[in-house]
Amino acid sequence: MPTTTYRTELKKVRGLGSAIGGPGTDHFWAQRLTAVSNLFVVAFLVYTGLTLAGAPLGEVKAFFGHPFNAIASILVVISTAIHMRLGMQVPVEEYMPHGLKVPFLFLNTFFVIVIAVVGVLSILKLFLGN
């Protein structure tokens, strides 16, 4: 066979890569979807920060006691958590040496879930008033 090929045998057998309707597309799409929602939730996060900068705990409790603020804040957590999880996956996959890749991909998911649960639970507790 005279022609050189850059395709692996496995690639030919499977026919589809990650990019064609596979996890690559899903990752790309979810990253953009949450990038759009992040525009809105980060705007709310900035509003939260400006409202509560230097505020005593009483004001913080009152702020999160409002249903709109509590709902928006939980959306901040969900939207950014998904985006973070997808985003960190990329440098881990690209820069981590072989043996560390999978452990750090696991760690990435664990970290994000812990942050998200802490965030949502804290907001709920403040909303419900203990």
Partner 1 sequence: MAEAKPIAGTRPLAPKPMSPHLSIYRFQINMILSIMHRVTGITNYFGSLILAIWIASAATSEQAFNTVSSYLATPLGLVILIGFTWSVMHHMLGGIRHFVWDVGWGFSKPAVKFLSWATLFGSLTLTAIIWGYALSHWGIR
Which residues lie near partner 1 (CB under 8 A)?
A: 1, 4-6, 8-10, 32, 35, 38-39, 42, 45-46, 49-50, 53-55, 57, 60-61, 64, 80-81, 84, 87-88, 91, 98, 115, 118-119, 121-123, 125-126
- The residue assigned the tokens 């702020």 is 63
Shortest approach of partner 1 to residue 14 CB, angstroms?
14
Residue placing its CB nearer to partner 1 in the complex, 21 or 121? 121
For Cα atoms 74, 118, 122, give the angle at the middle one, nearest 5 degrees: 65
**What DSSP string runs through 42-93?**
HHHHHHHHHHHTT--HHHHHHHHHSHHHHHHHHHHHHHHHHHHHHHHHHHHH
Cα dist from 34 to 27, 37, 45, whole Å = 11, 5, 15
- The residue assigned the tokens 């850059």 is 6
Shortest approach of partner 1 to residue 36 CB, angstroms?
8
Shortest approach of partner 1 to residue 21 CB, angstroms?
18
Residue placing its CB nearer to partner 1 in the complex, 8 or 16? 8
Q: Residue 39 gets which letter from DSSP?
A: H
Residue placing its CB nearer to partner 1 in the complex, 21 or 42? 42
Shortest approach of partner 1 to residue 7 CB, angstroms?
8
